[in-house]
Structure 1
Amino acid sequence: MLLGTPLYAAQLTLELGANSRTWQTEQLLAHPQVQTITIPDDVSYKREMHYRAVPLAALLSGIKPEDHLQAVALDGFAAEMSAAPLLNTQGARAWLAIEDPAKPWPGLAEGKPGAGPFYLVWTDPQAGNISPEQWPFQVASIKRLAPVAERFPALLPDPALKADDPLNKGFALFQRNCLACHRLNGAGDAQFGPDLNIPFSPTEYFGMDFLKRYIRDPQSLRQWPQAKMPGFSTEVLPDEDLDMLLGYLKHMAGRKVKP
């Protein structure tokens, strides 16, 4: 591409059943609800960013709060998300940021591409404990799917557990915070990070204190230029939730299902 040549416009596929459609960049930039938003502390860019964006709820025609969605990125990142937070109009609110080909966004790091062409961002994310994994960038499609537990039974904890057992809460936290990048027992759609149970769970080869430190700040234990795992702060993943997530991983180490 010649220096100064604008990016090509892109398209976003929404696979929502009867309300499926494809949006072109130009259509989204001309959407009646498009506006400029400010993200004070962008998860991907680590600084304040400004975007032309449309409330995601305005694009999710026919979607109900109990539905389940998956946002798939160009690199295979597959964010599993309950529809309810995405439909919020107050508090933590989801937006589809649209990269204007005439005003491309900066690279996410030196020599790296930017977050475009489409990026799911949040205003007031603290109000909803929004995980870094719920900020997928380079989004290519958003799909309505059956819940994770139905699609991937190999992820399920012991079915004899009560619904309110902490291990089931840990499973829910795993879906929100880990499944976008990792599989477990070979189950999941992500093509990004290693399996978290096959051949071994990290609870089997990390001491628990170091595993907690690794999740909070991966670079504090392992530093390499290609590292992509974000840290999970106590604002996003409180200590009690982290304990339940690790409880689920430890439990699943005893429920290995080889792919």
Structure 2
Amino acid sequence: MPLLRCLCLLALMIALPAGAAELKVDLGNGLQTFDGAQLVARKDARDIAIPADVAYKRATRYRAVPLKSLLAGIGPKDHLQFVASDGFAAEIPAALILDTHGAEAWLAVEDPKQPWPVLPGKNVSAGPFYVVWTQPEAARIGPEQWPYQLASIRKLDDVAARFPSIVPAASLPANSPVRHGFEVFQRNCFACHTLNGEGDARLGPDLNIPHNPTEYLRADLLRAYVRDPQSLRHWPQAKMPGFSASVLSEGDLDALLAYLRHMAGRKHTP
């Protein structure tokens, strides 16, 4: 009898489907959970082509759902956070998803029966969920706005309201390069780094405590590091990507460094 029970249990385990990957979405009206099968069965799901995939660095094709239809109910003044399973936390204004003048955000869904290839230099794929963009150049979509291995999407207050210790001094004029640098920081750095101990990302080190990089790197070396981290410290396991001029212009880089120098004088211990 024990043997028969074991055989029956084994047969049941084989018959049951493997645990489906789930995406959690909270837009302030209660948590919703979607699995891959639900998403690809939606009427608005379709096959899309991505000519220059940020994660795979080549042309790709996906089964995907328009992101703005999945996030129905958000407004242009809302703010969204996309959190990946590895600790990456992209902060994306809802306006960028709702009205991008030609660019369109999609949620690509990995089919467990046909898994995506592993990412370059990694041993995992971009799945099970990955935000991709068609015509990203129309809205200057940066690489940090392509979160992969996505686990959750949440509507939250904007970054300045949630993390006041990363905000520049209120006395700065509206046209200050530091204020522009703060915007650049949010778009390109905050998905991986905290500052003054504030932020939800868990991938990179804090950029102000105990020391700001402008305090221990010459300006030319810091610029080189942002452009190509491996040019300064060769480390095969490093996760930080380089930011080319097509992604981060010289003007944006100037503003980012101005913001970091400014924040070096505004340290807050969490």
Band the TM-score falls in, shorter-chain normalisation: over 0.9
How many equivalent residue pairs? 254
Aligned to 1:121: 132
Alignment of 1:1-259 (within 5 A): 8-18=19-29, 20-88=31-99, 90-109=101-120, 112-259=123-270
Distance 1:138 1:173 in 2: 24
Runs of 4+ residues deviating >4 angstroms: none
Q: Does the residue aligned with 1:170 lie in a helix, a strand or coil?
A: helix
Query: If the length of structure 2 is used for normalisation, what is the TM-score?
Result: 0.90
Measure how far apart 1:164 and its partner are: 2.8
* Secondary structure in structure 1 of the residue aligned to 2:91: strand
Instruction: Measure the CA separation in 2 of the matches of 1:227 and 1:25.
Output: 31
Query: 2:131 and 2:85 mapped to 1: Cα distance?
Result: 13
Q: Within 2, Cα distance between the matches of 1:131 and 1:169?
A: 16
Asked if the contact 2:63/2:108 (under 8 Å) is kept, the reply is: yes
When residues 147 and 89 of structure 1 are mapped into structure 2, their CA distance, relative to the original with a 3 A threshold, is closer
**TM-score (normalizing by structure 1):** 0.94
Deviates more, 1:101-110 or 1:82-91: 82-91
Equivalent residue letter for 1:169: H
Displacement of 1:35: 1.0
Larger Rg: 2
- CA shift at 1:18, angstroms? 1.9
8 Å Cα contact 1:126/1:236 also seen in 2? no
Three-state SS of the structure 1 residue aligned to 2:200 is coil
Identity %: 59
How far the C-alpha of 1:180 sits from its partner, in A, is 0.4
The CA distance in 1 between the partners of 2:25 and 2:175, in whole Å, is 33
Aligned letter for 2:125?
G
Deviations 1:80-115 (A, max 9, x none): 111111123642211100001111001113561101
Give a deviation string over 1:62-83, Cα, whole Å, max 9, x none.
1011111000011111111111
Q: Counterparts of 2:21 and 2:35 in 1: how far apart (Å)?
A: 6
Deviations 1:141-162 (A, max 9, x none): 0000001111111101111112
Unaligned 5+ segments in structure 2 are: 1-16
Letter in 1 for 2:173: K
RMSD (Å) for aligned C-alpha atoms: 1.5
Q: CA deviation at 1:177?
A: 0.5
- Separation (CA, whole Å) in 2 of partners of 1:89 and 1:54: 17
Counterpart Cα distance in 2 of 1:105 and 1:245: 35
17 and 77 in structure 1: CA distance in 2 versus 1, 3 angstrom threshold: same
- The letter for the 2-side match of 1:69 is L
Unaligned runs of 5+ in 1: 1-5
Contact 1:64/1:84, CA 8 A, preserved across alignment: yes
Between 222-231 and 144-153, report the one with greater CA deviation: 222-231
